Amino acid sequence: MNRVIRTVVAALAALTCTVSTSEAKAPNASLIYVVSKSMSSLGAANELSQIDLRTGAVLHRISESKPADLPNLVLDRSGTRLWWLEDAGLRSRLMLLDSRSWTVDRYASLLNAMRYLIYGPSRLQLAEECCNQNVGGSRLFVYEWSTPAPGVAVTWLAVYDPTSLRVEVRHIAMKGCGVAVMSSAGGRLVVACNGSADIRIVNVRTLHVVRVSLRGRLADTIAGVFPVAWDRVYVVDRQLRIVELDPATAKIVRTAAPEGQNAQASPVLYGAAVLSDGHTLVVGSMADARETDSAFSLRVVDLRTMKLLRTAAIPHYVHVAAAPDGGLLLFPMGDSADRDWR
């Protein structure tokens, strides 16, 4: 198999605003989208695939000539529009794809200010202004990063119209944010900043930014940000410390470490997922985070009680993602002997 799976982004059962993902409706909840890096005699390339989870069949593919490791994908909650940021070279291309006809509706070219960061969280996020898709609108946020001088990093958000791909706002300062993990809920964009140990909450309509400090609450690098309802977001670090946040009020509801948890670390990237029931957290855990071949296991946590429910050993490091049917997707690392996802 000559295709190295890097990560998976966005199951089709997208979040609704007032209920958990288990109650969300989608045109076809069996589809997922995967970005992979394919290798051939012509060199490396990115490939975007649409996969039917029921059969494992690849329904559609699009290949791009510029390889990149950043899985910049975002899907709207109708399941019909997919945005893909091809992030490589001096310029990047932002594409709007119709997932039904599998055609690219629009392209936009933008400077690739993040070209010095080879591998990291997705820097693309679609956020809605309100709880009903027929009320208000949505905006497409792109997280930008540049290094104007050695040891100096400048970070900011750019805002795009999701239909026309026209730039609405070129610069919302994210000073000191560093490598960020983004999500959205409650009419807010939630940006978890590893560089400054805080959360930046952006009002989608007004673009007003509120900072919430996480110092003393999280013990390590942020592993994931998970919206589970219109008014609730969970931020999880590599030591499985969890912050529960109300994005609309910018208030921290609680901070907890699951009972029975020890200090083993999860992978920084794509090592955690919340299942579609909205309360089951699965985190990959390494016995030694410094060793890529370290013993690896999956830990299951109930977010309602903050209890560690079970631990399951698996043979190698994997990326994890929530499946739209309530299950869990496991994707091996690119250097793993096992190249199959489950």
Q: Which residue has the higher pLDDT, 272 or 207?
A: 207
Alpha-carbon distance of 270 to 284, in angstroms, equals 9
Q: Are 283 and 299 in contact (CB under 8 A)?
A: yes
Per-residue pLDDT tens over the stretch 17-58:
222 222 223 345 678 887 776 666 556 667 788 888 888 888
- Fold for 113-257, please state it: Methylamine Dehydrogenase; Chain H (2.130.10)
**Predicted TM-score of the model (pTM):** 0.81
**Which of 256, 330, 257 lies closest to 298 in space, CA to CA?**
330
Sketch the domain layout of the chain as residue ranges.
113-257, 271-342
* Count of other CB atoms within 10 angstroms of residue 111: 12
Per-residue pLDDT tens over the stretch 174-227:
999 988 888 998 899 999 998 899 999 999 999 999 999 998 888 778 878 888
**How far is C-alpha 203 from the geometric centre of its chain's CA atoms?**
19
Three-state SS letters, 277-304: CCCEEEEEEECCCCCCCCCEEEEEEECC
User: Does residue 127 register a pLDDT over 80?
Assistant: yes
- β-strands 251-256, 272-274: how paired? unpaired
